[in-house]
Structure 1
Amino acid sequence: MRLTIAEERWPIAGSFTISRGSKTEVHVVTVTLADGGHVGNGECVPYPRYEETVPQVTAALEAASSRIEAGVSHGDIASVLTPHAARNALDCALWDLRAKQAGKPVWQLAGLPEPKPAVTAYTLSLDTPEAMGEAAAKASARPLLKLKLGRGGDAERLKLIRRNAPASRLIVDANEGWTADNLAQMLAACADVGVELVEQPLPAGNDEALRTISRAVTVCADESAHGLDSLAQLIGKYDAINIKLDKTGGLTPAIALARAAQERGLGIMVGCMLATSLAMAPAFLLTPLADVIDLDGPLLLKQDRVPAIRFDGSLMQPPPPDLWG
C-alpha cells in the first residue's frame, strides 16, 4: 500500500469569524492510500485550539508512513498516530479504500443506515449586530441558521437576526465566549428569540455552572467533547454532543461515540471544521443518527473540490461515490 500526504489551501468566501478570531482560508491535510488498483482519500483540518497544526500532522503522518504502508487497520490507527486530525484523515482514507476494494459503500461496511438528503445548518460569521442582521436577511430563506456569538452585543445580535429571519430555525455557537456570570442572561435571550440549541457557551474545563443552571434551550458540548474518554464528564452538564471527526480521530471512533452518547440520553449534533466536501463526506454518514446537522463547510468556501457534494440550498445530498465512500 502506498501513502501520499498533501497540504492544501482553500480560500474562504470573504472571512470567517468566531469569538477566538478570523481567517480567510482553510489549510487542510489530505491522505491518499493506493493498493495498485484502488485509491482511498481522506481530509483533515488540524486545529490550533486543540494544539494541532498542519506541520505537526504532516510530520506525524510522514513519520508513520512505513508502518502505514505495511498495512494498518482501523483499530491500529490510534497506536500509530497521536494527532487526532491525522488519525481522521487516515481512518477516512482507509474506509474509502476498503469500499472501493469491496465494491460496497462505506455505510454498508460500517453497519450504518443508508444516508438520505439532509438539511444542514448555514453559518453566519460573528460580526457587528447590524452586519449579522443583514446577513440573516440574505440567508432568511434557509431553514436552519447557525449564529456565531460570544462577544459583547450578543443579545442585540439575536434580536436583529430573528427580526430579519423570522421563519428560520436558529442555533447558536458561543465558542466558549460566555461566562458563568452572563450565562443565565444569554440563555434567556436565546430562548426569547426561539433558539433551539446553544453550543459550548462556557470554556471547556470551566463549565461546571452548567450542572445547576436551569434552561429552556438545549446546551451542546463542542470544545468539551472529543472521544469516548470525554463522554462521562459531559453527563449532567450538557444535553447534547457535537461530534466532529477531527476531534474523535476519524469515522470509526465517531460511530462509537455517537452510539455511546445515544445510550446515555445525549442528543447528537454532527459538525465539522471549515473544509471541503472530502471532509464532509464521511461525517455525512452519521446524519441518520443526528438531531442537528452542521456540515456547511463547502458552502463557505470560494470554491469546492471536484467532484463535490451537491447542496440544493441547505439540502445536502449524499456524497457521490467518485468523491468518497
Structure 2
Amino acid sequence: MTKYDWQFSVESWPFRTPYRFAGHVWTSLDLFVARVNDGTHEGIGEGAGVYYHDEPVADMPARAELLRDRLENGLTRDELQQCLPASGVRNAIDCALWDLESKRSGVAAWRSAGLSSLRPLTCVQTLSIADPDDMAAAALAVPSARALKLKLAGDGLDGARVRAVRSVRPAAWIGVDANQSLTLRTLEELFPALGEAKVDLLEQPLAVGQDAGLEGRDWPIPLAADESVQTATDIAALAGRYQVINIKLDKAGGLTEALRMADEARRLGMKIMVGNMLGTSRAMAPGMIVGQHCDVVDLDGPLLIGRDIAGGLDYSGGMVRAGACRWGQA
C-alpha cells in the first residue's frame, strides 16, 4: 500500500495596496498550504478559510494534523467530505488530492471533472471601497478588465460610486457586492442608481438570516447569494430569493463539493458564479474548473494581492487562462 507524505504550512502574503470591503481593511493575507507526495508525484492545495466563520489560518495546520494517519494511509476525497466540515482546511486538502490524482493518472483534473476542455474565461476585477472619484480612477487604471466588481459600503455613497465608475467605463460589465451592508430599505433606495448605471449583478445585499425579505420580489437586477450560501444543502432554500449562487471553494470545502453545488444550482434553474476568498493561482486554478459552468467568474485573488506564485495563471486581456500553472495538469 502506498504511504502518502503530507506537509502543512502557513504563508503570509502582504497586499501591495490595502483591500477594503464593507467593514474591513486587509493589508495582508495568510494562506494554508497542503502538500501531498506519493514518492513520485506531488499535489498541492491552498485555502484562505472563511473570515466570517472565525476560521484562523494559524490554526489550520493543527486541524489538518488530526487527520494525518488517515491521510497518510490514502484517505479519499469522498471520505474527506465526511471527516471534516466545509472549511479552508478541507478545501486545501481536497484540492491537493485532485492535483495528485491528475499527476498520478496522467489525466487533467478538468477532464476528470467531466469537461472536454478548459476554456479561457472572462474574469471580474474587483475594486475596493473608496470615494467615488477614486473608484473611477481605479477603474481607469485597469483598462484591459472587461468586467468590474465594485465593493459597496452601505454608507450613502454607493450610488455615486457606481455612477462614477460607469461614466468612465461605459462598455464594461459591472457588478456590485454589498457584503451584507444594506437593509431592505437602503437596497430599494439604491436600485434607481444601479439601474441608471446599468449594473448587471448585485451580490449579498442583506445580512445572512434576513434573506426572507427578498422572497418572491421582482428585482430589476439579478441578486447573487454569497455569504448566505456555503454548500449544496443551502441552495434550495434560496431559490425564490436569489437568481445567482456564488460558489467559493473555501466555503464549499473544496472542488469536490463546489462541483456538487454547481449541479444543484443548475437543477434548480439558478445561474452560477464562482468567486474566491483571495489567494494565489494555487487556489484560483481549481476555481477555473467550476468556472467552466458559470455565468460570472470572479477569480481575481492574485490581482487583489498584487502578486502571485511563479508559474501562475495568465490574467492578460481581462481573461483568466491556465497559462503556465501546473495545478491539476497531467
TM-score interval (norm. to shorter)? over 0.9
**Shift, 1:301, TM fit:** 2.0
Instruction: Report what 1:291 is aligned to.
Output: 295
1:120-174 superposed Cα distances (whole Å, 9 cap, x missing partner): 0011001112211221222344211010003211011111111121121100111
Secondary structure of 1:181's counterpart equals: helix
Is 1:3 aligned to 2:6, yes or no? yes
**Partner residue, 2:52:** 49
Letter of the 1:223 counterpart: E
Match of 1:119 among 122, 126, 138: 122
Q: How does the TM-score come out when normalised to structure 1?
A: 0.96
1:90-133 deviation per Cα after TM superposition (whole angstroms, max 9, x unaligned): 11000000000001101111213411111100110011122112
Q: State how far apart, in whole Å, the 2-side matches of 1:288 and 1:129 are.
A: 33
**Displacement of 1:47 after TM fit?**
2.3
Contact kept in structure 1, 2:22 and 2:152, CA below 8 Å: yes
2:30/2:57 contact within 8 Å kept = yes
Per-residue deviation at 1:59?
1.6
- For structure 2, list consecutive stretches of 5 or more residues without a partner in the other structure: none
Aligned equivalents of 1:247, 1:113: Cα separation in 2:
26
Q: C-alpha distance in 2, partners of 1:253/1:113?
A: 20
What CA distance in whole angstroms lies between the structure 1 residues aligned with 2:9 and 2:249? 19
Tell me the distance in 2 between the aligned counterparts of 1:98 and 1:20: 40
Aligned residues: 325
Retained in 2: the 8 A contact 1:33–1:94? yes
Normalised by the length of structure 2, the TM-score is: 0.95
CA spacing shift, 1:221–1:92, aligned 2, 3 Å: same
Separation in 2 of the partners of 1:222 and 1:56? 24
Alignment of 1:246 with 2:250, yes or no, is yes
Partners of 1:139 and 1:165 within 8 A in 2 = no
Residue in 2 that maps onto 1:163: 167
- For the residue of structure 1 that corresponds to 2:184, the secondary structure is coil
Aligned-pair identity in percent equals 35
Contact 1:57 1:83 in 2 (8 A): no
Structure 1 runs, 4 residues or longer, greater than 6 Å off: none
239-248 or 44-53, which deviates more: 44-53
CA–CA distance in structure 2, aligned partners of residues 289 and 162 of structure 1: 28
Q: Is the 8 A contact 2:50 2:87 kept in 1?
A: no
CA contact (8 A) 2:86 2:252 kept: no
Q: Render the CA deviation track for 1:194-225: whole Å, top value 9, x for unaligned.
A: 00101101011112111143311110000001
Q: Which sections of structure 1, spanning at least 5 residues, go unmatched?
A: none
Give the C-alpha shift of residue 56 in structure 1: 2.8
Please give the root-mean-square deviation of Cα atoms over the aligned residues, in Å. Answer: 1.4
- Distance, in Å, in 2 between the alignment partners of 1:264 and 1:114 is 25
Which residue among 184, 192, 196 is the counterpart of 1:180?
A: 184
Residues 1:35 and 2:38 are matched in the alignment: yes
Question: Counterpart of 1:149?
Answer: 152
- Sort the Cα spacing of 1:310 and 1:240 in 2 relative to 1 into closer, same or farther, 3 A: same
Q: Hey, what does 2:208 align to over in structure 1? A: 204
* Kept after mapping to 2: 8 A contact 1:184/1:213: no
- Identify if the C-alpha distance between structure 1 residues 82 and 56 changes in structure 2 by more than 3 Å, giving closer, same or farther: farther
Q: Please name the residue that 1:80 is paired with.
A: 83
